[in-house]
Chain A
Amino acid sequence: MSREKKEEGNRSNDLDRVIENSRRDFLRKVTLAGAVTVTGGAAIYSGHRFEKAKHREGYVKVLTEDNRLVEIPVEQMRDFKPDLKMLQSRGREGIPGRRWVMVIDLSKCRNARKCVEACQSAHHLRPYEYHINTLVMKESVNTPAYFMPKPCQHCDNPPCVSVCPVDATFKRQDGVVLIDNERCIGCRFCMAACPYSARIFHWQEPTQHEADSDKEYDVELNIPQKKGTITKCLFSADRLREGMLPYCVSACPNGVFYFGDENEDAVTNGTTKMTVRLSELLENNGGYRLMPELGTQPRVYYLPPKNRIFEFEEGEKREYKEEKA
């Protein structure tokens, strides 16, 4: 009996609650609808105003370099091409906050020479003019031969920069060593000082000098190349500015190259596009640098040619014929 009463009471309570809920719900919905109407109207109105403003006759909105939105008359709009002064100043400054670093895994290199070709085509070089060259190395009779891609080592203590009499070659804050061929006097002291033979000289007119002659000189690409000046590996500074991997790194079919930022402790393989920790990669694989005894502090690391999954084949000897001027 008492149990039934209880149940009845509960039921009427439930009914009350339902009625109460539906009223609250209604009020909420009305408020919401109102709010939507008001904000929607406001949005439409401001959108309308914005559209009106945007269509102000003869004006266009432009975001400036220091992040300000401004309006300028359409007829004053010009296509922007970076001039020499800008290319030079940004090229000499480098990319703030970065410390570019390269890791070359010798156990993967099979002398495909795709890195060499990509580099030469990007920088307008002849087949025997190298920013990066793959060498056959053999330290002693009983040690194995292996292939070694050799770009500029971008030393942190660069002997070439020390000896340059006119500041034509310089070290940037992001670790890259560049050469400014608008400044180079062609004394070749840097070539004499470089222990890695990383630098080359234009003994004659560069291969595409006629086609390049009207281009604005970009120190990060070193094009147009100039007769009587030095050229060298640039770590593809122009690609780095656009957030891309260097030409040689992305061209390699065998996963030899890693490239990245020492500050982030991360390097990306150019073939697999896998990003790994720089410190772990070096630690797990016995990373080393060339000629550490010279104290040049290279930014290029090598992983030893161990556990190679292929036979060492030197392939056909290539003949290189010098183009006569």
Chain B
Amino acid sequence: MDAIRFNTPEEKGKINSLATDILRNVRINTGFLLWMGFLFTLLAACLFAYLIQLRKGLGVTGLRDFTSWGMYIANFVFFVATSLCGMLISSVLGLIGYKWVKPISRIAEIIAIAFAAVAGLVIISDMGRPDRLPYVFMFGRVQSPILWDVTVVTTYFVLSLLLWFFPMIPDLAIAKDRLEGRPKFLVKAYEILSFRWMHHEVQYRLLGQAVRILLILIIPTAFAIHTVTSWLFAVTPRVGWDSTIFGPYFISGAFVSGTAAVIIAMYFFRVNYRLGKYLNAETFERMGRVMVLVGIVYFYFNLNEFLVPGYKLKTGDAIHLRELFTGHYAAMFWGIQILGLIVPIILLLFKQIRRPLPMLIISLFVLVGSWFKRYIIVVPGQAHPNLPIQNVPVEWVVYKPTLIETAVTVASIVLVLIIITILAKLFPVVPIWEMAEEESEKDKITQ
């Protein structure tokens, strides 16, 4: 047990070739700088829109007294949902013992971190008095689901960050001597963050235990963040929100959008980072199957959510569902359900479709559909309160997002991309040591 891992020449060779492949992308090159320049310019432009909102008030958005939660809240729900992919890939599939998730688990964690971190900021952009944010901690009331949400989203963010960082410590130790030509600060950061990792077996055993605890802890936390997010709606007696299955409905939807996000990221890294050897066709094939599974579960919840009230047609539900099925939101609703869910499930049943490029296209549809699905969940129900909307200006009756609102939402998406870019460009996106172990095991089996 006292041994040092990766000590044999054979293993060292494996580490070497893996490190060469994976660390090739850890660099600050012109492409990276241009991309970051673009993102930050866009961010600055969008933050200007937020400044206008701060000065003039939330009236610059399309929100008014009746539809008082709109694009911001829909975007928040989407972010929380997508961040759940970290838990699904690393924990659920990892703990079951699927080895094929190893090369993509870090990508999933990066996405989880980025979306969970920005979700908190999105909520702030929806606040009428963001300067009073500290009040939530100073005067917080535990009865309010907002408090639960703040608590679990923060916890989930921290757990995801640790789950990204802990398994990366050995990689940092491997990489720190292989960073010739990279900026000094990066080399220094690797040295500090690798905590003088010796590749000692005891270290690996402790690391394994720590990661396992995190993997288990993150499952209830992830369920909590999205269940509580669904309760922000389900605890109110409103048409379209007053549902008992909102928790599992949201969770299953989160798995769909999270899986789509991971597939898109996988494709990007496969092509741009030339990591096709690790993010290979087989991994895509398996992710395609995961997508079919979570898609079917989500479809099942959709059926419950719309068919049951649609059968009874209680007064409020009837108005709401008519708007969705044949009214103002019909195009969006059927677009999401058919192009964003049903068609993708059917297509992915075929093995020929479960290849990288078709899956990228399908996942883009699914992800965009997921965003609009949140919009459909949040917005339309509010236009039909129990008592009629009367004696108000016309623009108060139907909600239309404004340019400023859209720009602030774009800012949040840009921020997610910035975080993902930084994490994926300055640190290895595929775990080196875990892949080396994986290959050694395969060798043993073939021998």
Contacts and interface: CB of A to CB of B under 8 A. Distances in A.
Given A185-B133, A203-B58, A167 B128 contact: no
A108 B65 CA distance: 29
Interface in A124-169: 128, 130, 133-137, 150, 159, 162-167
A195 B388 contact: no
Contacts of A189: 144-146, 232
A77 B392 CA distance: 50
B146 A320 contact: no
Interface in B344-390: 382, 385-390
A201 B391 contact: no
A66 to B, nearest CB: 30
A274 interface: no
A135 B392 contact: no
Contacts of A162: 143-144, 235
Most chain B C-beta atoms within 10 Å of own C-beta, residue among A128, A187, A199, A227? A187
Contact of A185 (B65, B129, B391, B392): B129
B68 A163 contact: no
Most chain B C-beta atoms within 10 Å of own C-beta, residue among A164, A166, A291, A322? A166
A167 B58 contact: no
Given A189-B144, A197-B66, A136 B388 contact: yes
A322 B57 CA distance: 15
Nearest to A150: B387
Contacts of A183: 132, 135, 139
A227 B393 contact: no
B390 A135 contact: yes
Interface string A310-325: 0000000010111001
B176 interface: no
A164 B143 CA distance: 8
Contact of A201 (B65, B146, B238, B386): B65
Nearest to B64: A203
A1 interface: no
A291 B386 contact: yes
Contact of B385 (A163, A197, A227, A228): A197
Contact of A165 (B64, B140, B389, B390): B140
Given A163-B146, A187-B146, A192 B129 contact: no
Contact of B139 (A166, A195, A196, A205): A166
A60 interface: no
B229 to A, nearest CB: 13
A184 interface: yes
Contacts of A193: 235-237
B390 A133 contact: yes
Contact of B128 (A150, A184, A199, A320): A184
Contacts of B68: 188, 191-192, 201
Given A163-B144, A203-B59, A204-B56, A185 B395 contact: no
Given A164-B144, A185-B127, A135 B58 contact: no
Nearest to A127: B391
Given A128-B393, A163-B235, A166-B139, A201 B66 contact: no
Contacts of A184: 128-129, 132
Interface string B206-250: 000000000000000000000000001101111000000000000
B200 interface: no
A228 B237 contact: no
B147 interface: yes
A161 B248 CA distance: 27
A203 B63 contact: yes
A187 B127 contact: yes
A152 B141 CA distance: 23
Interface in B40-95: 56-60, 63-66, 68-69
A294 interface: yes
Contacts of B133: 185
B100 interface: no
11 contacts: A128-B392, A128-B396, A135-B391, A136-B388, A137-B388, A189-B232, A192-B238, A201-B65, A201-B68, A202-B57, A228-B129
Q: Top 7 nearest A-B pairs by Cβ distance?
A: A186-B128, A228-B128, A203-B59, A165-B146, A204-B59, A165-B144, A322-B393
Given A128-B393, A136-B388, A205-B57, 10 more contacts: A162-B143, A165-B141, A166-B140, A188-B126, A192-B69, A192-B233, A197-B65, A202-B128, A227-B57, A228-B58
Interface of A: 128, 130, 133-137, 150, 159, 162-167, 183-189, 191-193, 195-197, 199-205, 227-229, 291, 294, 318, 320-322, 325
Interface of B: 56-60, 63-66, 68-69, 126-129, 132-133, 135-136, 138-141, 143-147, 232-233, 235-238, 382, 385-393, 395-396
